[in-house]
Structure formats: C-alpha cells, structure tokens
Chains A and B, each alone.
Chain A
C-alpha cells in the first residue's frame, strides 16, 4: 500500500498542467461490516483518460458510484475544480457535470434514438416536445462524434450492441458534462464495435472531457488511457502513466503479486532522472 505522498509524487510527474477537474482525497466507504473503500485518492484532469482497473471486488464500481452520487462517501473529500463539494444524490453529480454510462446502458428499447438521447431533459417549444430541434441536435451531436447510426428515428431495439453503447455514451454528452464515467464500455462488444467505442473515447478526450474508464481489458486500457489507477481490496495500489508502464507492472499491481510495484517504479524513475 503506497503512502499518499508517494502517490502524489507519481501523479505530478504524469500531469503538470492545471488543477484536476475532479479529485478524490482519502475517500472511504463502508457497507455494514464491509470496508469497500479505504483512503482512496483519484485525480481526473480535463482532456485526460483515466483507466480504473482492479480485480473483481476491488472497489471500482463502488468508487464510481460515490462519484456518480449513488453512494455518498463516509470519509474524505471530493474536490471539483479545486473546491470541496458534497455529492449525496445522483442529481448532485449531474449538476456538477458528471455523466455516467453504466454497463447495462439503461436505454428504453421502445423509444427511438432521439427519445433516448433527450430522455429526462426534452427540448420544448410552447410547452410541447420540440421534436424537430431535438432531432437536429441529436444529428449534430452524433455527427461531431462521428457516430454512425442507421437513423435517429428507429427504436433502440433495432440497434446492435455497439450502436447501443455509442448511443448511451452520446446520451451522457447531451448535458455537456466535464467528466464522463464509462463502466466496462467494451465488455459485450465485437472487435469492430470495440474499436468504434475506443475511437469515441479518444474523441471525448480531444473535446477536453475528463474520462474515467473502467475496464478489465488491458489492451483497451493501453490503447486509449493516459493514466491507469489501480485499486486493490478497496485501496489505491498505484497510479501509472500508461506510456511508460509495461503490461506486467499493471497486472502485478492489480493482482498484488508484487506488493511493491509502486516503489519499484519509483526507484526506476529516480534512476532515470539521475
């Protein structure tokens, strides 16, 4: 378990620009007798993809849910653009600018793409739904993200798994968030669809959004993430810059095979600096 000083040391080497959009400082969360998160730190900057990895039960989902406002934190602090905030309800997170795409997508099969994109925040004109404006904005949004959908007026039921995933991500962007959380976005997808989703993640980064990407797939993580934050048994187990880190180092941090993954890395970096 790295000390928080060491953790910050690693982090600052990765990103020297600006304050993080979102920062978790020593966050803890208990469920009854289970200590799900202990003293967890996490920083997400604008235009950065942070991959959140860890074994099953490592606390990834719990951590994401604390940010999304599903589970309020017990201890620690959440900072948004440098100032401390309280996130107690999903609405709080949305109001700040956190959008979450859960693994089960939660789209309405019977509504069309436009209906799903604007569900809960419909555009109105004289009190009635403004379908024309919504369809237009939906097309613009999908075009800027280079998302290709047969038609924005077909029900979600008619779309493939990959298309549903990109619709779910696009839907998260309708509210102009600053941070997007993607929970296993490629888990159920084929090769082509996975590539499309990863392309989309890169486009989100290019638009200056902070992305938290939960994934079990190291290839995906290496492909798009800037930073990898490893969780193990509810604690931080290292934050790595993807560019200078090998597959094995991340794996060993996830599994705990080498408990000193962080110190080893720090030693190596110190050596290089000499």
Chain B
C-alpha cells in the first residue's frame, strides 16, 4: 500500500459522526448481515457483486461439464466413469495441493512434475530392482523429494534466486535424474498386487458398501458437529456466530453431495483408496493452513513479507518449508500416477501434468498473486480438469484439441482470478 493510496482513502473517508463516550464497537457504515436466512441471501448477493465469487463458478462449471458430456455421450455420469474420475484425480490433485501451498506465498514451482517423476522412479527402482520393502521404498522416495524441495527453498529463500528460475532449473535437472535412476530400459513395472499397485486399485473393504456409507456419514457428521460447536463457542463468548439455519443448510448441502457420491460409488466398485487418501490430505492441509500458527505464517508471508518479518516470523524457514511440503505432495502424487499406469517411466510427470495441476489450483480459486486460496481449490479444480479430459476421451477428441481446450479453460480461470482481484480492489477487499 503506497502512501498515495493511503492519502486518497483517508481523504475519501466521509467524516464520522462524533463518537459518544461509550462508543459501541460497531461502525455505523458497516453492512451488518441481517439475522436469519434472508440476511444470508442478501450477503451472498453482495459478495457476488464485489467479486468474491468463492467456489460458485467452479461448481457451476462442474455441473455444466457433467451435463454437456452426459448429453453427448449418454454414459458420462455412469457410476463406472465417475468412479474412474475420482481415482484419476488423486495423482495430479495431490500435486495441485502442493501448488496451492506455493501459490499462497505468491511464488510458483515449475519442478513439481519432475519431482513426481523422479520420486516414482526411485520408489519403483528400489522396490522392484533392489528388492527393498515397498513401504520403505515409498518413504525414501518421498524423503528424497522433500530434500529436493528443501534445496529449491534454500536457493530461493537464502540465496535470493527467483523461485521461477530455481524450479525451472529443477524441472530439467530432476527429469534428468529420473532418466538416470530408471537406467537404460527406461520403464519399471510396479510389483503385482504390491503396495504401489494397490494405491490405485484397492477399494476399501474390497468394495463393501458399508465403508462408502460410513466414510460419507462420518465426513458429514464431523462437518456439522464442527460447525455447530464453533457457532456455540462463539455464541457463548458473545461473538457473532453463524445462525443455526445457515449451519443446517451447509450441512444439508454437504450431506446431499456426500450421500449421492457414496451411492454412485457403491453402484460400481465401492470406495477407492486414492479418493480417501486425497480427501484426507485436502482436509488435513486445509486445517494446517487455516487453523494453525504455521498456516497463518504462510498467509502472512504471501500477503506482506515485510509485515511477516516484523512480526517475528522466520520468513526464510516458511519459504523453505513450503517448498518442502509442495515437493512432498508432488512425490505422493507421483506414486499415485505410477500406480495408476502400472509403471514408472521416463515420461511420468512430464508433458502437461504440471500444467494441469497449476490450472487445477487456479481454477479452484487459489490466487496466482499470493495470500489467497485454500487446498479445497485443488480438489475442485482437478475435478474440472479431469472431467474435461475424461469427457473428451469419451467422445474421441484427439489430444491436439484436448490441449487447446484445457489451455482455454486455464486462461479463463486466470482471467477470472485477475478480474475478481481487480473488482475486490475497487471494493476494498483486495
């Protein structure tokens, strides 16, 4: 915020009425949300106008995509196809979660595709060629990725090389390492029915419907209880709290989505392991970002480095650790991709894997400009991307057209981000 802007804003301020001795803490200019449901709708409209679109465009987009492909193919919304989509999103989705962390700092990590590739290669080579325990091999692969992330973070935070350049160098270097690890043959098939293979193919309880229903109901119950307890605690402390009607509505919407999803999954093979792991990681990382001091530090560094430093935050450590987290997520994503294609090869993580993940984070609503976003956007965004890819595959559109369409969707999302950022600025929210 420059001095100029501050002066302007100060000048534009309407003079406030003189405060009585015991001034109430509420400013008369504040738009206070009316109690109850009507107030909720009114606030929602106001947010829309001020560019605070939230998840609405993405959800509408998903519905639109589903409707279009269902209309064309007639079997897009089949249980089988939807189950496949939930399995396929795990790999790129986990990479997108890593991207969200980096984007929150206002930086970019271009190496995550290569890191996914090299991790998958390490895990596959150690377990198949060296005969190491598969769990251990996966852990070593993830640890190696975290070390790579720490190296990137070090060059960025301590040496001051732009993250763009460090990770661009990493993009080349680590895909080189990936080829080196894989050796002359270039492809390592994962063990039949091993840990790596099961990441993608396992269904909880071998397709027992109880697991799917249980998982959905557990999620809905935890969400509702969390919302209720939070509102109760705020109410007890005399703070404004969400009205019960809104909590009921939110929980109800989630319940419908969760139960329909559970029903669809049960029509097919049951609850896929990749979906459970992906959702769990999204929930955990969301908690870390929004409810812990560490998460608050990431937002602070993304908002204003100087303010964060003055508040005593170790900016260098926050940056390095974020690159470690993103690399770790990419490694996990790489393992899922290897599991899904049944092998680790030279091409794993190359091509448009990285671009799709970045696109997913941005489409889901995480800002490219830092300080704004959540890991749920990785889930929503990757669902959009994967739905488009799967749908285009179903109607046999060739890859050239697929690339162009995915590119257009990414551009559209970034335009939306930039426009909403500008609208938010002009309405004093940016």
Residues of A within 8 A of B (CB): 90-91, 94, 102, 104-111, 115-116, 119-122, 124, 127-129, 132-133, 135-136, 139, 142-143, 146, 148-151, 155, 157-158, 160-162, 164, 187-190, 192-193
Contact = CB atoms under 8 A, between A and B. Distances in A.
Contact of A160 (B9, B300, B308, B310): B9
Interface string B1-13: 1010011011111
A149 B19 CA distance: 12
B400 interface: no
Given A111-B303, A119-B313, A128 B234 contact: no
A190 B430 contact: no
Contacts of A102: 310
B311 interface: yes
A122 to B, nearest CB: 5
Interface in B305-328: 306-308, 310-313
Interface of B: 1, 3, 6-7, 9-13, 15-16, 19, 23, 25-27, 29-30, 230, 233-234, 237-239, 287, 291-293, 296, 299-300, 302-304, 306-308, 310-313, 370-372, 424-425, 428-430
A155 B307 CA distance: 14
B299 A111 contact: yes
Given A164-B6, A188-B6, 5 more contacts: A111-B300, A146-B23, A150-B29, A188-B3, A188-B7
Nearest to B310: A106
A160 B429 contact: no
A173 to B, nearest CB: 14
Nearest to A146: B23
Contacts of B307: 105-108, 116, 119
Given A124-B293, A128-B291, A193-B10, A158 B429 contact: yes
Given A158-B429, A160-B10, A190-B11, A106 B233 contact: no
Given A108-B300, A128-B291, A146-B19, A91 B25 contact: no
A190 B27 contact: no
B308 to A, nearest CB: 7
A220 to B, nearest CB: 15
Contacts of B6: 161, 164, 188
Given A109-B303, A120-B311, A122-B296, A155 B429 contact: yes
Contacts of A107: 304, 307
19 contacts: A106-B311, A107-B307, A109-B430, A110-B302, A115-B300, A120-B312, A121-B312, A129-B292, A129-B296, A136-B237, A146-B23, A148-B19, A148-B23, A148-B27, A157-B429, A161-B7, A188-B7, A190-B13, A192-B13
Contacts of B7: 161, 188
Interface-central residue, A94, A105, A110, A111, by most chain B CB under 10 Å: A110
Contacts of A146: 19, 23
A69 to B, nearest CB: 11
Nearest to B312: A120
Given A120-B311, A128-B291, A146-B23, A108 B304 contact: yes
Interface-central residue, A107, A108, A124, by most chain B CB under 10 Å: A108
B239 A135 contact: yes
A136 B291 contact: no
A77 to B, nearest CB: 26
A29 to B, nearest CB: 21
B370 to A, nearest CB: 8
A110 B372 contact: yes
B239 A110 contact: no
A104 B1 CA distance: 9
Contact of A192 (B16, B300, B308, B312): B16
A148 B20 CA distance: 11
Contacts of B234: 132, 135
Contacts of A111: 296, 299-300, 303
A72 B372 CA distance: 37
Contact of B306 (A104, A160, A164): A104
Interface-central residue, B6, B230, B233, by most chain A CB under 10 Å: B6
Contacts of A192: 13, 15-16
Interface-central residue, A120, A142, A193, by most chain B CB under 10 Å: A120
B319 to A, nearest CB: 16
B13 A109 contact: no
A189 B7 CA distance: 6
